A = this chain, B = another copy of it.
Amino acid sequence: MLNFILVEASLEVVPREIQNHPQIKAYAKRFKKKPEKILLDKSYHYQAMGKLPFKEKRGRPDIVHFTLLEVLGSPLNFERLIKTYIHTLTNYAIYINPETRLPRNYNRFIGLIEQLFQVGKVPLEGEPLLTMEKLSLENLLKKINPSKTFLLTEKGKPSTPIMLAEKLEKEVNPVIMIGGFPHGEFKDETLKLTDEKVCIDPKPLDTWIVASRVIAAYEAKIGLPEKRLKIQP
């Protein structure tokens, strides 16, 4: 079983200090929502975000959307061999039921996540697909109890996806952590919770590309395509 955490994910509602900014108020009015219930989105709130600390890391729910579609749609997830978590920049842990079929449409995804931030789970009735709680990354990792944590970062040891997959395969309960933010450095807290830093490409790759490379290599390493296709290895 592979544990996948999208760490420092750029997913939050509009923070209090900019809820009265004219750009936020106009946006809220247009979509008939309350400012505090709107998901922060750099595409629409760029000016309002001007003075936010660490603004270069914030307001990118599209990164979470693409990456989750990449992970949840993988054959590895169909086999229930990967557990998917999000840990946000503002210290929320989000648990994702592997059966979740996320909306493909971005605006519907945003609506779903806004509901999640408001209520703590979606859907409201029946078995929840996404649930959320305030929790540090450290405490999320305590729950998972990994045998080893790997962080994907340009500052890690150069390693092809296949070399990484070989290491993952040897672990009882490995955790893969991939940054869910567009630019900037990892927090010290994240680095402290990392056992091994790995670099799969010298250039910065989009989060969903890193996710697909790691998962594809792991699938290949454990012979999943052969198994699913019933081909003799």
Contact surface of A with B, Cβ cutoff 8 Å: 41, 43, 60, 62-63, 66, 69-70, 73-75, 78, 104-108, 158-163, 199-203, 205-206, 208-209, 212-213, 216-217, 220, 225-226, 228-231
Contact = CB atoms under 8 A, between A and B. Distances in A.
A43 B110 CA distance: 14
Contacts of A105: 41, 43, 62, 106
Contact of A158 (B78, B162, B205, B230): B230
Contacts of A70: 70, 208-209, 212
Given A105-B106, A161-B220, 4 more contacts: A73-B205, A160-B226, A160-B229, A220-B220
A159 B229 contact: yes
Contact of A220 (B159, B217, B230): B217
Contacts of A201: 75, 225, 228-229
Contacts of A73: 205-206, 208-209
Nearest to A77: B209
Nearest to A226: B160
Nearest to A41: B105
- As for how many copies of this chain the complex holds, the number is 2
Nearest to A220: B162
**Closest 3 A-B residue pairs measured CB to CB?**
A106-B106, A212-B212, A160-B225
A231 B106 contact: no
A162 B158 CA distance: 22
Contact of A69 (B159, B208, B229): B208
Contacts of A41: 105
Given A70-B209, A229-B199, A62 B106 contact: yes
A203 B74 CA distance: 11
A212 B213 CA distance: 8
A202 B230 CA distance: 9
Contacts of A205: 73, 75
Contacts of A220: 160-162, 217, 220
A216 B211 CA distance: 11
